[in-house]
Structure formats: C-alpha cells, structure tokens
Structure 1
Amino acid sequence: MKQKLSLIGKYFFLILLFAVLFSYAMFQGGFVSWFLFYAFLPFLLYMIILLLYPLSDWKVTRKASSGLVEAGGSLYIDIYATRTIPFPLYFMTVEESFPLTLQREDRADDKFTSWQETSVKRTMARVVFPWFNKKFHLRYRLDHVPRGDHRFGAIRIRTGDFFGFIQKEVEIDSKGQFIVYPSKRDVNFSLRSKTFEQGNTASANFRERQSNMVAGLREYAPGDRMSWVDWKATARTNKMMTKEFEQEKSTDAFLILNGITAEGSSVKFEGAVEFTYALLQKLSLQSQELSFLSLGKERRYFPSIHTERQREIARYHLAKVQPDTESEFSKEIAKENARLPKQGVLMIVSAEFDVPVKESLLRLAPHSSRLLFFVVTPEKEWDFEKQKYAKELKEHGVYVQALTEKEWANAEFEVKA
C-alpha cells in the first residue's frame, strides 16, 4: 500500500513537472525555453509510462540442473523470464529468495572434523539489461548444498528510470522444489556366521555358498574344484561326478534409523542418515529381504526394499527426513515390537547413545538372532562411559560400532561383526 501511494505521488509530480515546463515554454517563449521542454520531454514520457508499466507482466520459472544432486555438491539453477509487452527497460535487478533449509552448508566429510553446522546467508542478485527483449535467461550456482527438500518461493524484480527517480519492484511467485539426496558411500561387510540354519546366517557378503550343504550330484563341469568330486559316485557311474551345493538363503535384514536426537546434534544426525543410506544401498542388493523403519517426526516403514523403485522411494524419504528432538527412542521402538524380526540381522543406526538407548537394546537382544548397533559420534564423546555401555551390550550379543572421525575419513565403511 505504501509503495502504491508513493508511485501515485510520483506520477502526479511528473504531470506537474510536465505542466510547469510547458507553461514556462509558452509564457517565456524563445529557443532556450522550448529546447529545455523538448529535451526533457522524452525522459518525462518514459518515466510516466514506466510508472504505468506492470512489472507483473513478467513470468519467471526455475529449473534445476539435471541429474541427482548429493549433499555437499553443487546445484545449478536456471531462471527463465518472459513477458508479453516489449517495453524498453534500461536495467532490471533479479533477486532470489532462498528458503531456510538452504541457509547452511554441507561441507561433506569436513563436517565430521569440527562436528559443527555451518550457517550461511545465501544471496543472489543479478543485473540484466532487457531493453526491448521479451525474455532473458540467467544461471547461478549453489555450492555445498545440504541434504533436504528445498522449496523456493518468490523472485524479486526491481527496475527504474535513468535518473533513479522512479523505482519499481515486484515479487513474482515462482515456486520450485529441489531434492538433495544424502551422500553416497560404500560399506564393506565382514559378518561372522553364527549358525548354518537356512535363513539365519550372517555371512561376509550375505550370499556366500555353504560348502557343507550338499543338495545333489551332477557331472563334472570345467571350473569345479577337485574337493567337490564325489569319488564313490564317480566309481559307480564311471563318470566324473561332483557334489552340487545348495545355495545359501540370503540373510533377511531389518534396518532402523533412529531419527530421535538431542538439540544441537544436527551433524551427527546427518551422519546417521548418510550411513543408513549406505547400508540401505548395500543390503537391498545383497539380502533376500530388506525392511526399513525410520523413527522420528515422520515415522515410515518400508516392508520390502528390493526393486529400484523401492530403493528410490526409501532414498526420497532419507532426503527429506528431519531430526526429532521431542520423542523418546525407548517408547518409539517399543511401539514397533510386532514388526521387528525374530530371524535375520537387525541393524540400528543412531546419533545418540545414552542409558535409555542402551536399555532398549538390552531388551531387544534376546528377541533378535543378530543385533548390530551403529552410533555416529565425535571421538571425544566416545568416552569411558560409552565404551562401558558397548562392552555391556557385547556381553549380551549386541555388536556396537562407533562411527567417529576415523571412520568418516575412509573411502568406505568397514563393518566387522
């Protein structure tokens, strides 16, 4: 309202200035007075028309760079602006308004050195010179983009006359949504077998052949080991016969992300999300059945992650998930007892490791054939007390691994349980 009143006041001022110059030329007469009138006339007319020109005639759209963008990477944004009225504009300033989700930086692995979130005030203002053009395009780059669902709002456009007397601006609604996924990292499993029962074995690669489980006999084929030859059957049939082994059932895996964290644990939570993503990628390819449960503000349960589409849906959830600082892990995990597996491997990734979490794990241990707990923590916080918790859990069959700066400095995670 204030801007409209200001423009109306300037409009009447220009009309008054035009009338004064014209009256001066009429009553004064002579070359000088008329020269001044005609010299200022184009500028006066331009300013009057500029006041009437609707900046809302511009239509602005955004387009993000193609391809999957991961946390810590760069995102290119293209802005396309078009209009229908080719009014000459000497200059125009385009300003982007960034959402709060982008007012921080993800420094990739460097964030696990300081364990501090990097806040930043992102700005983008570009000057273009449209003149009579009906469209223009500009591109800018965002570096160190954080994981998340980033929703853009309006774009502010400013313009004015040659002298700066007239200044107009408008916010054009141009909603856009860009998803930044967690960083990708590989996991190297080395899990010791506990039993040879089918469907209840944790092997180094989740698909390892059990060489002592004979399913039948067949003729020798190139590549078969001599230790597989059944000499009795060979003598009986006069043909080289080898043992055919039953392929081990792939281990069922159940993965849980504990999204319940304390205040000020944003970097640890990001680490938990990244490690969960790494486990999800690995397990979905190597286990026969993978279930995924995300605890927190937006509780989600994925009963089966096996196809590329299912992996995509789970990855989308991990891109959007935010920490929950109000709930309690012990209460939330208790609600999910019916879903937790009695066979296979249960893996829990967390940014917190305190007494309530330890007690919850002790309650889960007797009901799981294999329980692995991963906690993202700075090395200085992995103190004697936390190590005592880990030792107590180990005595009850729970494997605990702390993901400190040392683990994040490696190219891939090592899991040796």
Structure 2
Amino acid sequence: MTRERATLVIQTLFVLLVIGGAYSFAMFQGGMGSWTIFYFIVPFSLYALSIVLYPLKRMTVSRVIQRPLLGIGETTTVTIRVERTNRFPLLYLAVRDLYCEGAASVTHQETSKLFIIGFQKEVLLQYELKGRQRGEHHFSDVQLEIADFLGWIKKRETIAAEGESSLLIFPETKSIQYVPIGSYHDKGTARSPFSLIKETTVATSVRDYQQGDRMSWIHWKSFARTQNLMTKEFENKRGEHVTLLLDAKSSETFEEQIRFAASILKEAAVRKADLTFLTTDADNDAIGTIAGEGQLRKALTQLARLQPLEEARAKQPNYTVALQGAGAIVIISGNPDALFLRAVLSASRAQPVFCFVVRSGTEPIPDYVERNVRTAKSLGVTVQMLSDEQFERSFQEVAKA
C-alpha cells in the first residue's frame, strides 16, 4: 500500500469515527442540542465519504505545448486541460504539472493552481516556460487533488497527460564569419571560401536540361542550333563540399563544442552551403546539404539530444563510408586523440583536414590535450585552439595559420 493510500484509509476511518462518536453522544446524552450536533456533522461527513469514492482517475488530462521546439531564451506556453464526465459538486480541484526543472524555467504564472470548480466539467492551467539549457526536456504526469469542506479527506491522483510530453531546446548559436580556408578545384588549387556557392565561371561541357536547373545555366547557343534545352556543366570545386565532424566523446568543453557546431550549421544554412554534418556517435545519421530550414532543424535536433559518449562505450561510425566524397573535413573536438584522427585521415583520401580544439575560457590547457594536439599536427592536421569568445573569428585564424 502506498503512503497516499494509507493516508486516505486513515482519514476515512477518522470520518467514520466522528460519525460514530457523534451518534453515540446523541444517543447517550439525549436532548435537542446533542442531536443538533449530530445532524450538523452528518452532511459534512457524508460529503467527505463521497470524496473518498469519487472516481478521480476517470478525469481526462491533456497537455498542449504551443512551441515544442525552442531556442535558448525563447518562451512557450504550456496548457493543461482537465475534463470530467459528471457534474458532481466539488469544493476545489488542485492541478499541478509535475514538470522536471532544469532545461527550462517558469517565467509567468505557476505550474500549479487551485480551482473553485463547483459544477464545472473543465478547467485550464496555463504557464510559460523559457528555454534555459539545451536538451530534450521530458514532462512528468499531472497531479490532481480534491478535498471536502472541513479538510478531513484529501484525495490525490497522479494521471498521465495526453498530448505533448517533451520540450526540445536547441543549443545556443553565435555569429560565425567565413573566410577562405583550403578550397581547391579539380584542376589546380585556389584559396576560396570553403563552403559557399557553386563555381559558375568555367563551363567545361553541356548536358540535357533537367527540371530545377537555373535559367542562367542554359546554353542558348546549343538551343538555337538543336532546339533542345542544354545546361552548362561547370568545373567541380572539390573544396565546395565540407564535412563537419563533431567529436562527441566526453570532454570538459562538450557544451562549448555543441554551441560551436550549431553556430556553423546555422551559418551554413543561411549561405546555402554544401555541408554534411556528422558526429562520432554511430547512432546518429549523417545529415547532408544543410541548405534549408528542414535540414537545419534536423541537425539542431540531433545536437540538442546529443549526450557525451564515454570512450569505453563509444561506437564510432564507419568513416570510410561516412566521409565518402567529402571535401574539406572540419573537426570540432575537445581532445583530438591520435586513434580518432588516424581513422579520419585514413578515410579522408588526401582531403584537407582542419581541427578546432575548443578550450574552456582562459583556463590552462591540460597536458594530455597538449600532447594530442602535437600529435595531430605531426599527422598533418591543421589545428586551431579557440575559446568561446573566439568562435566568430575562428576561420580567419585558421586561414592565417
């Protein structure tokens, strides 16, 4: 028997004892005063016993979250609706949403409210939540409580709410400035922005027109000669495609790494970059071409849910497959160990590899991280140490290196 059930049994016995005591007093004492006390107590006692029998579990509880996807600092409204099938008069109904604190904080009203319900069949509880920390925030059940007039009986039930049960808070993002960083063509090398638009200055051949091709790519001379629409083929810029690889191993700067990756992804979506996003967690699929709101939301959702992997239990993806066709490879890590880098370099097929090692503010760099950085440089990886304040100019620093 649970504690709440035991309390309810004790309260019920108390009410029965009150009724029995009042009746005994009236019988033995006699007189109008004694019976008046008894008849005064009976209605309240019977109502208290009806509260014991009231089917609180049959109430329907639903939860609606206005915006189940939030960014840091954004707010959403949570609505709890409680409905019942009868109009039995209740003195009050206390509704409390047992949400778990941590990822979000209440900014307006409270997560509990006391309703003087009477004969009403429906009540609404509303409050606002503000995104505070990235992650997937799961709501608990809703607690309902009713009581009699004199507080003799208090009945509580915890009911699972229908509808939304989680709130996803995207990681915080910062402004990132792209600069030229090791991009090159199939024929010869050139320094150019690593992620941006397709090279359309050098046409190498023509092909049949396909739906979705730009009008500016149509080869009008061929159309005038053959009356068939032909599209120009341009020289492929191998550095145009970028693979962003997030090292998800547990580290002291894991949250900063998440924030840096989210900032790059957001900028890539704005610039319509040909970018593939990948983590070292094999359970997460690679997300290619972060060029629209849908793909960006999918990538940010993955980042919001990502938890640091313990090295002993980490299951890394098959880099030979994951990095197939990759251009420049940009790694974000807190501790780039040699085993991880060798696996990436082996699958990179001589593509340029850059590694941003995120450190925590002005705190000294641990010795084991410094050793791994020296090893990474000896393997031919371009390494750049940076803190949260240096995210905006990170690519500029790499270009100078």
Amino acid corresponding to residue 150 of structure 2 in structure 1: F
Say which is worse superposed, 188-197 or 5-14, in terms of deviation: 5-14
Residue 30, structure 1, aligned to residue 24, structure 2: no
Contact 2:69 2:167 in 1 (8 A): no
**Residue pair 2:68, 2:166 contacting (<8 A) in 1 also:** no
1:404 to 387, 393, 396: 387
Instruction: Specify the SS of the correspondent of 1:302.
Output: coil
Match of 2:155 in 1: 168
The Cα of 1:282 is off from its aligned counterpart by: 2.8
- Looking at structure 2, the residues matched to 103 and 14 of structure 1 have their Cα atoms a distance apart, in angstroms, of 41
Moved more, 205-214 or 76-85: 205-214
Contact 2:67 2:76 in 1 (8 A): no
Q: TM-score, normalised by structure 2?
A: 0.74
CA 146–198 in structure 1, closer or farther in 2 if over 3 Å, else same? farther
Identify if the C-alpha distance between structure 1 residues 274 and 29 changes in structure 2 by more than 3 Å, giving closer, same or farther. same
Instruction: Tell me which amino acid in the other structure corresponds to 1:252.
Output: H
User: For residue 268 of structure 2, what is the aligned residue in structure 1?
Assistant: 283
Report the Cα offset of residue 388 of structure 1.
Answer: 7.3
Name the structure 2 match of 1:188: 177
Rounded Cα–Cα distance in structure 2 between residues aligned with 1:320 and 1:141:
22
Confirm or deny: 8 A CA contact 2:169 2:304 kept in the other structure. Answer: yes
Alpha-carbon deviation of 1:187?
A: 1.8
The structure 2 residue matched to 1:156, chosen from 125, 128, 143, is 143
2:356 to 362, 371, 374: 374
Residue 18 (structure 1) aligned with residue 19 (structure 2): yes
How far, CA to CA, are the matches of 1:8 and 1:26 in structure 2?
27
Q: Which residue of 2 aligns with 1:47?
A: 48
**1:181-219 CA-partner distances (Å, limit 9, x unpaired):** 222333211024554436976623744687985889xxx
Q: Which stretch shifts more, 82-91 or 163-172?
A: 82-91
- Are 2:243 and 1:254 equivalent residues in the alignment? yes
Asked if the contact 1:57/1:85 (under 8 Å) is kept, the reply is no
**TM-score normalised by the chain length of structure 1:** 0.72
Matched to 1:53, the amino acid is Y
Closer, same or farther in 2 for the Cα pair 1:65/1:194, shift >3 Å? closer
Instruction: Tell me the residue number matched to 1:332.
Output: 316
- Give the 5 Å matches for 1:13-162: 13-26=14-27, 28-66=29-67, 68-99=69-100, 102-103=101-102, 124-162=111-149
**Which amino acid is 1:280 matched to?**
L
The equivalent of 1:316 in structure 2 is 301
> In structure 1, what is the Cα distance between the partners aligned to 2:147 and 2:51?
8
Q: Can you list the C-alpha shifts for 1:336-394, whole angstroms capped at 9, x where unaligned?
A: 13432566211111232455556667x45983332221222113234688567657755
| SS in structure 2 of the partner of residue 301 of structure 1 | coil
Q: After alignment, is 86-95 or 390-399 more displaced?
A: 390-399
Identical aligned residues as a percent: 25
* Cα 1:380/1:13, change in 2 over 3 Å: closer
The alpha carbon displacement at 1:125 in A equals 4.0
Secondary structure of 2:48's match? helix
> In the superposition, relative to structure 1, how do residues 394 and 14 fare at CA in structure 2: closer, same or farther (>3 Å)?
closer
- 1:149–1:319 contact (8 Å) kept in structure 2: yes
Which runs of no fewer than 5 residues in structure 2 stay unpaired? 206-231
2:203 & 2:186 partners in 1: Cα distance? 14
* 1:185-334 aligned within 5 A: 185-192=174-181, 195-197=184-186, 203-204=192-193, 206-207=195-196, 213=202, 249=237, 251-262=240-251, 265=252, 268-284=253-269, 286=271, 289-296=274-281, 298-327=283-312, 332=316
Distance in structure 2 (CA, Å) of the matches to 1:21 and 1:385: 79
C-alpha distance after superposition, 1:79-104 (max 9, x if no partner): 111112223333333333334xx436
**Structure 1 CA distance for aligned equivalents of residues 10 and 201 of structure 2:** 93
Shift of 1:170: 0.8
Between the aligned partners of 2:168 and 2:260, the Cα distance in structure 1 is 19
The CA RMSD measured in Å over matched residues stands at: 3.8
For 2:327 and 2:158, the matched residues in 1 are separated by 56
Partners of 2:190 and 2:351 lie apart in 1 by: 9
Q: Counterpart amino acid of 1:325?
A: E
Q: Deviations over 1:285-336 (max 9, x none)?
A: 546632222212633223444454333332322221111013488x836x31
Q: Does the aligned pair in 2 maintain the 1:72–1:105 contact within 8 Å?
A: no
In structure 1, how many angstroms separate the alpha carbons of the residues matched to 2:115 and 2:187?
Answer: 68
| Cα shift readout 1:76-131 (whole Å, capped 9, x = no counterpart) | 322111112223333333333334xx43679xxxxxxxxxxxxxxxx944333323
Instruction: Give the distance between the partners of 1:192 and 1:44, measured in 2 at CA.
Output: 81
Give the whole-Å Cα distance in 2 for the aligned partners of 1:273 and 1:343. Answer: 22
- Structure 1 regions of 5+ residues with no counterpart? 107-122, 217-243
- Secondary structure (helix, strand or coil) at the match of 1:300 reads coil
1:253-296 per-residue CA deviation (whole Å, 9 max, x = no partner) reads: 1111111124xx3xx22221222222223334546632222212
Q: Aligned partners of 1:105, 1:313: CA distance in 2, in Å?
A: 21
Partner SS for 1:77 = strand
On the 8 A contact 1:343/1:368 being kept in 2, the answer is no
SS in structure 2 of the partner of residue 188 of structure 1: coil
